Amino acid sequence: IHCHQINLERAIGIISQPSLTPASLSDCRLRQQLKQRTQFQSPCVENMPRRGGKNKGGNKKWSRKRKVEERSAKSDKPRTNGGGYYTIINSNAKFEAYYSLVGLHNNRYDEESKKFVPCANDAEKHAERDLFMTSMTSILPASFRVDRSLDATTQKNVLDELQEFVGKEMEVEIELPKRSEAFGGMKNILDKGTDGEEKKVDGAMDENKDDAKKEECDAKSADATTETGDETTTPIDDGPTIIKKTIAPAKPIPFISSGETILGYQLSVDRRTLRRNKSLEPLHEWLKIQTDCGHVTRQETVSMIPPVVLDAKEGMSVLDMCAAPGSKTCQLVEHVGGFSTVASEGGEKKDLEPKGYVVANDADEKRAYMLVHQLRRMNSPAIFVTSCDGQFFPILDEKSDKGTEREGTFDRVLADVPCSGDGTIRKNPGIWRHWNHLGSLALHPLQLSIALRGARLTKVGGYVVYSTCSMNPMENESVVAELLRVSDGSLVLEDPRERMEGLIARPGWASWRVLREGQNRTRKAMKDWKKKNNSKMMAKKKKFDEMREEADGHYGPAKKEAKVDDTSKDGDEKRKDEDQNKKVEKEEEKFVPSLFDTKPYIPPVTWDEAALNERTTSLGFHEYKSYDEVEPEWRRRVRASCFPPTEEEAKKFELEKCLRCLPQDMDTGGFFVALLKKVKPLNMAAIERMNTLAKESRGGGEVDGQVPKKGKDKKEQKSETDKKGSESEDVAMTESSAAEDKTDGEPTTTSEAKDDDKPKEENKKENEEEETIRKAPQGKVGMYHKHQKKEDLSKQDFVPADPSVWPPIVKEFGLDTSTFPTDQFFVRASGEAKILYFLCKHVKGELIDRGIQERVTVINSGLKAFERCSLKESNHMSYRLAQEGIQYIVPHMTKRILSANMDDFCGCIKLGFTPFDSFSEKFQEGLKELTPGSFIVTLEGFEKDVAKKMYLTMWRRTNNCVNCFVTKIEMEAMLSKMRALGYVSKKEDEEVKSGESAGKEPAVEEKMDTSS
C-alpha cells in the first residue's frame, strides 16, 4: 500500500506540471503519460498491474487444471472453419488478374485438330479460364515411372505386378471429413469418375437426372442423421462421410518409354488418398518397396519432361545444375549410366562399368545431402554430387580450348533453375496466399546467370535445357530470349515435340507484357495495413484520439509551427525541395485495398483491354511499354532483358518452339521447357554478362540492362572490360574457372595484340605467385550469405587409397591384379580410411584428375566397396566386402566366393543368424571350407552378370552359422528379382496349393507379404 501511494503521488505530480503541454510533447511521450494517468485512476491495489515476472500485465497464473477445463469447454462448442484449422482459399486476385491480362487464357486446345487455337470470343475465354481454375484448385494426382535401366526380365516383372494393381478399375471406400469440403481439392477429384461425371454414394451412377448432386447430398445426410420420432436431426459430432468410389485404371504416359514399352503411369487419385486409404494399402506398400529398391520413382508427370527433352544417350557426360531433390537426376542416370557390355565366359576383357556419368549440383548443402539419399537407390558409381552456387560452377576447360570448337565440359546440361513455383500450386496450396509478381522479377537475373553458365559448360554440338515450374513469362520466355540475344547465334532453339509422343504442350510466347507491383502491394505492406486496421486497433485508435482531444481542451490548442517563406529561396532550391517532397510522399505511399481483391476472385464480365487494365491497376500493378519508361529506382528490379523481343528478333528466335504445359491440358502441374543447341562457342559479350550477373548476385557489380556509355574509343572500353574481368575472377574462384580474357573469346586485331603483350606478360609474372584457387560459393544468393557460418568440407575430398592397404585385401579375396582397378578406389581425406569407395574411370579421369575438387565442394560420389572390419573373428582381415559396390569386385575375385542354387540363395536372404543345416549339403560343404570372415554368395548362372547384381555379402561365423550383410531394402529387391526369374519359395508354393484346393486364387499382396 505504501508503494502504491508513492507511485500515485509521482503520477499526479507529473501530470500536474503546468509546463508540460501536448504541444510540447511528442506523441510517444504523450501516449505514455496518458497511459499512466488512466492506470492510477483507482486507488485500489487490486487494479494495479503486475510489475515484472512472467505474468506481467495482470494475467492469471498458468494452471494445467484450468487449461484442461478451458479445453473441454471449447470442445463442447461446435467447431467452425474446418475444425479450427486455417482454411486455404484457392484464390488470389493478383494471380488471376495478372494472368488474365498477359493472355494465359487466350488460347484453347482443339480436340479435332489436336492443336491450340486462339479463343474467338469472351465465352471461350471464360470457359478456358474456368477449366484452368478447376484444374488448379484440385489436388494433383500421383504419378510414377519404372526404371528404364533395369534388365529386361526384372523390368517386365515389375510392370506385370503393376498391372495387377492399377490395370483395372478398383472400388474403394473413402472417408471424407466435413472440413475437406472447404478445401475443394480432394473432394473434387474423388467426386469424379473416369469420364468426369459425378458419382453417388454406394458407387451407383445416375446419368439421366440433372439433380444427381442433390440426391447425393440427400443420401449423405440420410446416412449421417438420427431419427427421433417424426423428426430427423444431424448430430454435431458425426464422423466422416464414407463414400464408395470406382478408381479408374492408371493412365499411361506415352513419352516416358523405353522402345515400345511404356514406363510412366499417372493414377486417378492423389498421394494423400493413396497413403491413407485402406483399400489402396496393398498398392501403396508395393510402391514403397519398389521405390526403396530403386525399381520405381514417384515423380510428377511434368517433372519427367526435361530429362526426356534433353535426350541424353548412354556414355554421355551430363550436368544437373540445380538437382535437388533428385527425381530428374535419377532419370538422367537411367539414360547415361547403363552397362554397354557384359563380361563373357570366354574371358574377353570388356567394360564392366558405366561409360557415362552425371554431376548433380545444388547450392544448398542440406539439400545436396538429401540428394545423396535419393540417388543411393540407383546404386551407380557414375554419380558425382557437389554443392555450389550454379552461377559459379567451375569451368574445367584448358586455356587453349577456350573460344574454340573444343569449348565445354559436358555433352548435356540441365538448368532447372529456382523459380516462383506458381505451377506447383496443386501440390503447394500455400502459394495461393503468398503469390506476388515481384518474386518473379527478382529471380529473373539469377535464372539468366545460371542459364548462361550452363551454356558455357556445354560442349559445342551439345544441348542445354532450361526449365522452370512457373507460368510467368518473366521467368520463361524473357530468359530464353535474352539467352538467344546475348549469344548472338551461338545458341539455337529447337522443337522436341516430334519425339514426345502423347505430350500436349502449348507454344511459347513471342510477345508479353511487362508489369510490376508497387511497394505498397508487397506482402509486408498488406500485412501491416491489415494489422493496423483491424477492429481492435481501430478501437484503441479511437480511444486515443478521444483522450488527445480531451487533453487539448484542458491545456489549450497546440502551438503551430512558423511557416518558412518559400519566396526567399532560389528557383533551383525550391524545385529540389519539391522533388524531394514528392519522393518522400511516394515512398510513404500506403496500402489501399482494392474493390477487386475478393476471395474468391470474381472474373470480369468482358475481356476487353480496359476492363483487364482497370483490375490490374486497382490491384497495384504498373505496366511499362518499354525499358525507357522504367523509373531509375526500379531498374534494378525491372531490367531491359524482361521486355519482349522486336519483330525481327521474334522471327529469328522462334520462341514458339518452347514448351508450355498448363494444368488443364494433361491434368498435371504447370511447367516450362526450352531446348537449346550450342552450335559454336559463346562470344565475349555473353561471358562478360555471365560474370557480371554472378558478381552482382553476391553483393557487387553494376546493374545489367543499362545502355552502354557512348563516345569511348576501343582502348577505353577494353580497359574497362579487363578491369571487370579481373574483378569477376576474384568472385568466380580462378581465371581458368570463371573469368575469361577477351583474347580467348574472340580474335583481336594485331595492333591491339601488340599493345597488350607487355602488360599481360608483366601481370602474369606478378600474379603467378599470388594466384590462389578458391572454391565456388555455396548457399542461396543474397547479401546475408556473408553472415552464414559454413563448415569447411575441404578435408572430405576424395584422395587415392594408400597402396599399403591392398596386399592383404588382394591376398584374402584372390583379386586378379591384372584386371582389378586399384587406381579407381578412393578414401575421404579425413585421415582414417574407414571406407574404400569405387569411382568409375570417367569420373576419375574427366573430373577428379582435372582438379574439380579444388574448385567446388564435393558431397559424395562412388559406391562403398570395402569397409573397415572391427569384428574379433577377423583377426587376419582388415577390410570386409560392402554390398553397395560388390558387383564391381566379384568379377575380379577368385577366393571366398560360393555359388548357390535358388533355394540356398533365398535361404541366405534373412535377417539375423542362419545355421548351416538350413542349406543343402553341397552348400554346407562350401561353407565349412571357409574360414571366419567376409565372403560372397552368387546365384548360379549369374556369376558374371554385373547388371542384375545377384550377389550377397555374407559373414561366416565360428559357431557354424552365417549372417547376411545386406540391408532390408535390398533384400526386398533381391526377392523381386527372383520372382522375375520365376522362383517361388516352398512356403509360397504350399500356400498356392492350399488355395487351389480350397477353390481360392491367392492375391498378389499375400504373396508379397509371405516372401518378405
49 pLDDT more than 80: no
Q: Which of 119, 469, 661, 964 is catalytic?
A: 469
* pLDDT tier at 76, thresholds 50, 70, 90: low
Q: Which pLDDT score is estimated for 877?
A: 67
Burial 52-69 (b: 16+ CB within 10 A, else e): eeeeeeeeeeeeeeeeee
Report the pLDDT averaged over residues 9-20: 45
* Residues whose CB falls within 8 Å of the CB of residue 494, separated by 6 or more in sequence, listed in order: 463, 657, 675, 676, 677
pLDDT tier, 876 (very low <50, low <70, confident <90, very high otherwise): low
pLDDT of residue 578: 56
According to DSSP, residue 90 is labeled: S
Mean pLDDT confidence for 400-422: 92
- Residue 100: per-residue pLDDT: 95
Please tell me the least confidently modeled range out of 90-99, 111-120, 341-350: 341-350
Task: Return the pLDDT at 387.
Answer: 93
Q: How far apart are CA 86 and CA 652, in angstroms?
A: 50
**Residue 541 pLDDT level (bands cut at 50, 70, 90):** confident
Q: pLDDT at position 669, please? A: 94
Residue 889: predicted pLDDT: 93
Q: Among 349-358, 408-417, 573-582, 957-966, which stretch is predicted with the lowest mean pLDDT?
A: 573-582
Q: Percentage of the chain with pLDDT > 90?
A: 44
Give the residue-averaged pLDDT of 266-283.
87
Please indicate whether residue 74 or residue 38 has the higher confidence score (pLDDT): 74
Rounded to an integer, the average pLDDT of 916-937 is: 92
Helix or strand holding residue 686 (H, E): helix 684-697
Would you call the peptide bond into 325 cis, given omega within 30 degrees of 0 as the criterion? yes
pLDDT at 198 over 80: no
Of residues 846 and 560, which shows the higher confidence score? 846
Helix (H) or strand (E) holding 798: strand 798-800
- Is 658 an active-site residue? no
Give the amino acid at 653: F
pLDDT band at 301 (very low <50, low <70, confident <90, very high): very high
Q: What pLDDT score was predicted for residue 523?
A: 66
Higher pLDDT, residue 940 or 175: 940
Pairing between β-strand 897-900 and β-strand 951-956 as defined by DSSP bridges: unpaired
CB 658 within 8 A of CB 507: yes
Query: Cα dist. 547→19, 37, 531, 841 in Å?
Result: 19, 11, 22, 82
- Residue pair 839/862 in contact (Cβ under 8 Å)? The answer is yes
Q: To the nearest whole number, what is the mean pLDDT of the chain?
A: 76
The more confident residue out of 713 and 163 is 163
- Helices 1004-1011 and 986-997: crossing angle in degrees, nearest 10, is 150
pLDDT at 777: 77
Q: Which of 64-68, 208-212, 754-758 has the highest average model confidence (pLDDT)?
A: 64-68
Given a cut of 90, whether residue 169 has pLDDT beyond it is: no
pLDDT of residue 340: 53
- Model pLDDT, residue 33: 52
Give the residue-averaged pLDDT of 863-883: 80
Report the alpha-carbon distance of residue 20 to residue 169 in Å, rounded. 83
Question: Which of 610-624, 713-727, 765-779 is predicted with the least confidence, judged by mean pLDDT?
Answer: 713-727
Over 70: is that where the pLDDT of 46 sits? no
Nearest to 250 by CA among 262, 259, 238, 236: 262
Q: Residue 14 pLDDT > 90, yes or no?
A: no
Q: Considering only 129-133, 237-241, 532-536, which range has the smallest mean pLDDT?
A: 237-241
Q: Which residue has the higher pLDDT, 4 or 681?
A: 681
Confidence band (pLDDT; 50, 70, 90) for 553?
Answer: low
* Cell matching residue 728: 569477376
**1006 has pLDDT over 70:** no
- The per-residue pLDDT for 699 is 72
Is the predicted pLDDT of residue 709 greater than 60, yes or no? no
Per-residue confidence (pLDDT) for residue 507, from 0 to 100 = 96
Give dist(CA 455, CA 682) in Å, integer: 8
Please tell me the distance from the alpha carbon of residue 741 to that of residue 267, in angstroms, as a whole number.
53
d(CA 736, CA 401): 11
**What pLDDT shows up at residue 527?**
73
Q: What is the pLDDT of residue 698?
A: 79
Quote the pLDDT of residue 242: 73
Indicate the pTM of the whole model: 0.76
Q: What is the pLDDT of residue 687?
A: 93
Q: Could you identify the residue written with the cell 547415361?
A: 336
Q: What are phi and psi of 208, to 5 degrees?
A: -95, -15
User: CB atoms < 10 A from the CB of 618, how many?
Assistant: 16
For 223, residues 6+ apart whose C-beta sits below 8 A from its C-beta are: 201, 241, 242
Alpha helices for 860-985 (secondary structure H): 902-908, 921-929, 968-980
pLDDT digits (tens, 9 = 90+) for 473-500: 999 999 999 999 999 999 999 999 999 9
Percent of the chain whose predicted confidence (pLDDT) is above 70? 67
Cα–Cα separations (whole angstroms), residue 77 to 65, 71, 483: 19, 10, 60
pLDDT confidence of residue 724: 42
Question: Within 10 Å of residue 318's Cβ, how many Cβ atoms?
Answer: 26
List the 933-939 sheet strands across, edge first.
897-900, 933-939, 951-956, 961-964, 913-915
pLDDT (tens digit per residue) in 424-467? 999 999 899 889 899 999 999 999 999 999 999 999 999 999 99
Cβ contacts of 42 within 8 Å, gap of 6 or more: none
